[in-house]
Amino acid sequence: MASTADYFKLHFVIFLWGFTAVLGLLISIPAVEMVLFRTFLAAVGLGALIYFSSASFKVPKGDLVKIIGTGFIVGIHWIAFFASAKVSNASVSLVGFATGSLWTAFLDPLFGRKSIKGFEVILGLVVVVGLYVIFSFDFRYPLGLALGIASGFTIALFSIFNARFVKKTHPYTITFFEMIGAFLCTALFLPLYKTTWAIDHELQLIPSASDWFYIAILSLLCTVYAYSASIELLKRLSVFFVQLSMNLEPLYGIVMAVLVFGASEKMQVSFYIGTAIILCAVLSYPLLQNKVSGHRLPDQ
């Protein structure tokens, strides 16, 4: 059963994830190179954490390849997410990411062989309406939005798979092997990236001193802690509720982006109306769940 502390912990994790878009803009190297360093440092940090804690590197037979494969999905998610921020701004990348709840409403029942819950689909569509309100009047960044939506799709898969892994494996161990998978995914992508999208067809693999500082925060606080904590919470909170709550990430992230970057992150009024719609969808979930099931928010 989820406790009040679990909900506070979830929102702290979401707050940290909202800050990743800001960090992505503070780091001078491109998105792909940034993900490469992030995943490497996160894997090293998690390896040390597992070694000095009660956790184990062991995983159930047959799950190792699946967990590393999920790490590849994480790599794709981060590349898309940070690339979205780079070609548009942090606010657009965060709102595109918010479509994850709609993807989850369809994909979680599909993988779990359960019936689709109509009110979850409706809430997911409400999020899309919020996106429409935002961009019907301010559609300056279509590529950034597309990349953000791709990041939302992949994070939905990530959450669904982890909800199954965490039943048998420690969250630190899951995140450790997923970071290895994400690192491998990014490393394998580098040759194609260099010949197509890299600036002047050159990789930027020498971060500045300030880059290392921000990458360390991104890797250790926003990845090692935040991702491990989110996986652990999936033991007691439903995948859809976690994904829906993540729609608050734009709200947290936009506030921080405006404080850090100022005018470049200030959007038109339609942006904030759309964000309010997304917020209403998140807050209405417990009420709808209670009405449908006849009891308090489940911990499934």
Give the model confidence (pLDDT) of 205-262 as tens digits: 999 999 999 999 999 999 999 999 999 999 999 899 898 888 787 678 777 877 787 7
As a whole number of angstroms, the distance between CA 293 and CA 290 comes to 5
pLDDT recorded at residue 297: 45
Which residues, at least 6 apart from 115, have a Cβ–Cβ distance to it below 8 Å?
109
Residue with tokens 């590529």: 143
As a whole number of angstroms, the distance between CA 178 and CA 155 comes to 13
Tell me the residue length of the chain.
Answer: 300
As a whole number of angstroms, the distance between CA 151 and CA 89 comes to 15
| Token reading at 252 | 């947290």
Q: What is the DSSP letter of 98?
A: T
3-state class of 170 per DSSP?
coil
Give this prediction's pTM. 0.86
As a whole number of angstroms, the distance between CA 150 and CA 159 comes to 15
Q: Per-residue pLDDT averaged across 41-53, rounded?
A: 96
Cβ-contact 77, 151 below 8 angstroms: yes
pLDDT recorded at residue 189: 93
H/E run at residue 16: helix 4-26
| Token reading at 1 | 């059963």
3-state class of 150 per DSSP?
helix
The predicted-structure confidence for 165-201, as pLDDT tens digits, reads as follows: 999 999 999 999 999 999 999 999 999 899 988 889 9
Sketch the domain layout of the chain as residue ranges: 4-293
